[in-house]
């Protein structure tokens, strides 16, 4: 905090002294210093915000998002922490008027996969995973920075980017949320939703492993302590 205020204070001091000396007026120097402080503070905040966004994007871009790499990580993570499993025979598909939960998406995805409908099953599970992330962000009131701070107060609230929710969850809960699994599933969700060819043509065996990891992560997210 002190470091962030040091640069604006330095700018204000230099500008105030220079202008006060030129106009031979202490009052003008103080006024100039006050204006310079707030201008420098505003500019510094913008630079820091842009730098943080670029750093976050670079960190995200450095993550290997190839299907082979993602599935290798998920294969290592699956079963690392025992989680209850919902079989297709117990699956409850809600009526239209009922509230659809992340578990309902998993149940539907399992039913689709059982019928050999692989890509729609992965899409359904991906949606369930995203719903679980968004619910966690609201439930724990996570402090997740958004890119568009200049939104109109009347504008419809936009969903928080999934990768930012994941980073906030990892910061808050640490190993409780299995960070590597969440990061891998976020990359997997992106590949599936954007229909990347290798993700859209996933084998049944790979899809089963992906769905198991989606189910584990959703169960873990919904059972986090308050």
From 35, 59, 83, the end of a domain falls on: 59
pLDDT-derived band of residue 131, with 50, 70 and 90 as boundaries?
very high
Range of the domain at 72: 65-222
Rounded Cα distance between 156 and 72, Å, is: 38
Average pLDDT over every residue of 23-42: 72
Asked whether residue 101 falls in the same domain as residue 55, the answer is no
Q: Is 24 left (phi over 0), alpha (psi -120 to 50) or beta?
A: left
Asked whether residue 101 falls in the same domain as residue 140, the answer is yes
User: Quick check: 216 pLDDT over 90?
Assistant: yes
Asked whether residue 23 falls in the same domain as residue 96, the answer is no
pLDDT value of residue 217: 94
The CA-based angle 209-210-216, given to 5 degrees, is 90
Rounded Cα distance between 82 and 216, Å, is: 9
Asked whether residue 129 falls in the same domain as residue 39, the answer is no
Helix count and strand count (H, E) for the chain:
9, 0
From 26, 43, 59, the end of a domain falls on: 59
Rounded Cα distance between 131 and 134, Å, is: 5
Number of structural domains in the chain? 2
Rounded Cα distance between 102 and 186, Å, is: 15
pLDDT value of residue 145: 55
Asked whether residue 20 falls in the same domain as residue 113, the answer is no
From 211, 167, 197, select the one nearest 67 (Cα to Cα): 197
User: Quick check: 134 pLDDT over 60?
Assistant: yes
25 or 54, which is more confident? 25
Q: Could you give the residue ranges of the DSSP H alpha helices within 62-161?
A: 67-77, 102-114, 118-139
Asked whether residue 40 falls in the same domain as residue 138, the answer is no
User: Quick check: 1 pLDDT over 70?
Assistant: no
pLDDT in tens, 135-179: 988 888 876 655 444 444 444 556 678 888 999 999 989 998 899
pLDDT in tens, 43-95: 777 776 666 555 555 444 444 557 777 777 777 765 554 444 434 344 444 44
pLDDT value of residue 209: 94
Asked whether residue 173 falls in the same domain as residue 146, the answer is yes
19 or 30, which is more confident? 30
User: Which pTM value belongs to this model?
Assistant: 0.59
């Amino acid at each position: 905090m002190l470091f962030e205020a040091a640069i604006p204070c330095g700018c204000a001091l230099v500008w105030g002294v220079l202008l006060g000396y030129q106009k031979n007026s202490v009052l003008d120097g103080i006024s100039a210093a006050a204006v310079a402080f707030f201008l420098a503070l505003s500019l510094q905040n913008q630079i820091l915000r842009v730098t943080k966004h670029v750093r976050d994007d670079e960190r995200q871009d450095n993550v290997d998002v190839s299907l082979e790499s993602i599935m290798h990580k998920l294969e290592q993570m699956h079963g690392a922490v025992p989680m209850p499993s919902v079989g297709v025979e117990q699956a409850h598909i809600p009526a239209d008027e009922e509230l659809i939960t992340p578990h309902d998406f998993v149940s539907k995805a399992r039913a689709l996969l059982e019928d050999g409908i692989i890509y729609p099953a992965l899409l359904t599970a991906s949606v369930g995973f995203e719903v679980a992330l968004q619910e966690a962000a609201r439930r724990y009131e996570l402090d997740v920075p958004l890119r568009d701070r200049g939104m109109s107060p009347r504008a419809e609230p936009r969903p928080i980017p999934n990768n930012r929710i994941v980073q906030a969850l990892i910061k808050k809960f640490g190993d409780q949320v299995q960070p590597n699994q969440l990061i891998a599933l976020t990359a997997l969700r992106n590949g599936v939703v954007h229909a990347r060819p290798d993700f859209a043509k996933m084998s049944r065996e790979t899809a089963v492993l992906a769905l198991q990891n989606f189910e584990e992560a959703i169960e873990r997210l919904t059972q986090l302590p308050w």
